[in-house]
């Protein structure tokens, strides 16, 4: 009996807020036993919610099997089912939620729905030395500066229009680089150091990208600028905006750790700027392996464990999806 009590809790996390269907298997000793994911992509168009949901349905079984095989476990070993309850695209969230409920009912395992944005913060704390960081969460759909302050995960700044990743992808699509555009733009930007003036749009603690996108498109259409210079200038401008508001959040909260998360956090230039800012103010910047920057099941499993150990319990009827779930809704 004693042995049984000492066994770590193993959580099975399901991510399906947007383009990625991911399964992570993580235990309460922070061991990542599996982190398998597949992302929907297109040549031309953007994401059509019903099509992405179909993609998740088609791939789910294979990814679940792959994750269990990788972890060398069966569903009977799982002590907790955790899933992204929001925020995200309704069609996609529903697929993950239905799978989570089905597994929980079939194998009689407790189920917990977690907040996707908070999962990005908590996996960063689990996998780095960061104890209480400000998170610059820069992904496709989301751009938020998040920190835990006075019993809530709070948003200190965010994009007033599109997420920085979607902005980068939109420009990449416009200059015919395909999707996702981030890595291709990064490679082109490396070939230039010729800065072309672009609008710099920080409003208080918030940022906005729509006007910069229009300006970039006009510059591209004029044929007067090299693509490499535009990519370089774009990165320098929007990353400086993100680092500026991150720094202000750190000063405001008196925190001396900065964590980067989200797909755009894979960008080496953004990491370099974060490192420089942190060093200059006597703070420290933390970066994750790319597999934990992008949307992934491991972070969902891990946040499920934290919530469960904090005492959270949910009945099946409480597991409805929350597409517009705000990071700061719950008190801890």
Which residues contact ligand AMP by CB under 6 A?
Answer: 20, 139-140, 165, 168-169, 180-183, 186, 262-264, 266-267, 294-295
Minimum CB separation from Mg ion for residue 316, in Å? 25
Backbone CA torsion sign across 253, 254, 260, 261: negative
Tokens in use for 252? 């405001």
Q: Which is nearer to Mg ion, 139 or 327 (CB)?
A: 139
Minimum CB separation from ligand AMP for residue 124, in Å? 13
Minimum CB separation from ligand AMP for residue 184, in Å? 9
Tell me the C-alpha distance between 100 and 178, whole Å: 33
Minimum CB separation from Mg ion for residue 306, in Å? 17
| 266 touches, from ligand AMP, Mg ion, none (C-beta below 5 to 8 Å by class) | ligand AMP
Closest by CA position to 300, among listed 157, 93, 69: 93
In this structure, are residues 103 and 109 in contact, taking their beta carbons and an 8 Å threshold? yes
Q: Which residues of 187-212 are buried (b: 16+ CB within 10 A; e: fewer)?
A: ebbeebeeebebeebeeebbbbbeeb
Of 139, 143, 208, 319, which lies in the binding site for Mg ion, with binding defined by CB under 5 A? 139
Q: Which is nearer to ligand AMP, 68 or 163 (CB)?
A: 163
User: Could you tell me how many residues of this chain bind Mg ion (CB under 5 A)?
Assistant: 2
In this structure, are residues 158 and 144 in contact, taking their beta carbons and an 8 Å threshold? yes
Tokens in use for 122? 């908590």
Residue of closest CB approach to ligand AMP: 263
Tell me the C-alpha distance between 332 and 323, whole Å: 21
Q: Which is nearer to ligand AMP, 124 or 182 (CB)?
A: 182
| 13 touches, from ligand AMP, Mg ion, none (C-beta below 5 to 8 Å by class) | none
| 210 touches, from ligand AMP, Mg ion, none (C-beta below 5 to 8 Å by class) | none
Minimum CB separation from ligand AMP for residue 86, in Å? 15
Q: Verify binding: residue 158, Mg ion, rule CB under 5 A.
A: no
Binding-residue pattern over the window 185 to 224 for Mg ion, x denoting contact by CB under 5 A: ----------------------------------------
CB atoms within 10 A of CB 96: 28
Part of the chain binding Mg ion (CB under 5 A), chosen from 80-88, 94-102, 218-226, 290-298: 290-298
Q: Which is nearer to Mg ion, 24 or 196 (CB)?
A: 24
Q: Which residues of 219-235 are buried (b: 16+ CB within 10 A; e: fewer)?
A: beeeeeeebbbbbbbbb
Tokens in use for 311? 């005492």
Q: Verify binding: residue 295, Mg ion, rule CB under 5 A.
A: yes
Q: Which is nearer to ligand AMP, 85 or 267 (CB)?
A: 267
Tokens in use for 56? 């998740």
Query: CA 56: distance to chain centroid?
Result: 18
Part of the chain binding Mg ion (CB under 5 A), chosen from 26-34, 69-77, 133-141, 245-253: 133-141
Tell me the C-alpha distance between 238 and 159, whole Å: 11
Q: Which is nearer to Mg ion, 137 or 148 (CB)?
A: 137
Kindly report the backbone phi and psi dihedral angles of residue 277, in degrees, each rounded to the nearest multiple of 5, phi listed first: -60, -45
Give the binding site for Mg ion (CB under 5 A): 139, 295
């Amino acid at each position: 009996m004693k042995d049984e009590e000492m066994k770590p809790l193993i959580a099975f996390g399901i991510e399906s807020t947007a383009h990625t269907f991911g399964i992570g298997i993580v235990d309460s000793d922070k061991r990542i036993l599996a982190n398998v994911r597949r992302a929907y992509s297109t040549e031309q168009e953007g994401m059509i919610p019903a099509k992405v949901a179909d993609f998740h349905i088609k791939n789910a079984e294979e990814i679940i099997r792959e994750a269990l095989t990788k972890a060398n476990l069966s569903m009977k070993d799982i002590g907790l089912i955790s899933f992204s309850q929001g925020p995200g695209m309704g069609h996609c969230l529903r697929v993950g939620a239905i799978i989570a409920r089905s597994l929980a009912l079939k194998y009689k395992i407790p189920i917990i729905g977690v907040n996707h944005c908070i999962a990005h913060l908590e996996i960063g704390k689990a996998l780095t030395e960061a104890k209480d960081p400000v998170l610059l969460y820069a992904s496709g759909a989301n751009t938020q500066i998040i920190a835990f302050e006075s019993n809530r995960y709070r948003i200190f700044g965010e994009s007033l229009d599109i997420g920085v990743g979607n902005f980068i992808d939109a420009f990449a699509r416009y200059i015919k680089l395909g999707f996702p555009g981030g890595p291709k733009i990064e490679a082109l930007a490396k070939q230039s150091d010729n800065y072309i003036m672009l609008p710099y749009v920080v409003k208080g603690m918030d940022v906005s990208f729509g006007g910069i996108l229009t300006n970039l498109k006009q510059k591209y259409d004029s044929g007067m600028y090299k693509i490499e210079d535009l990519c370089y200038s774009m990165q320098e401008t929007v990353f400086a905006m993100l680092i500026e508001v991150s720094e202000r959040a750190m000063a405001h909260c008196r925190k001396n750790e900065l964590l980067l998360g989200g797909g755009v956090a894979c960008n080496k230039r953004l990491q370099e700027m974060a490192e420089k800012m942190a060093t200059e103010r006597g703070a420290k910047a933390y970066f994750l392996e790319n597999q934990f920057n992008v949307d992934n099941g491991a972070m969902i499993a891990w946040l499920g464990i934290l919530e469960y150990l904090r005492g959270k319990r949910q009945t099946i009827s409480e597991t409805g999806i929350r597409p517009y779930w705000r990071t700061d809704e719950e008190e801890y």
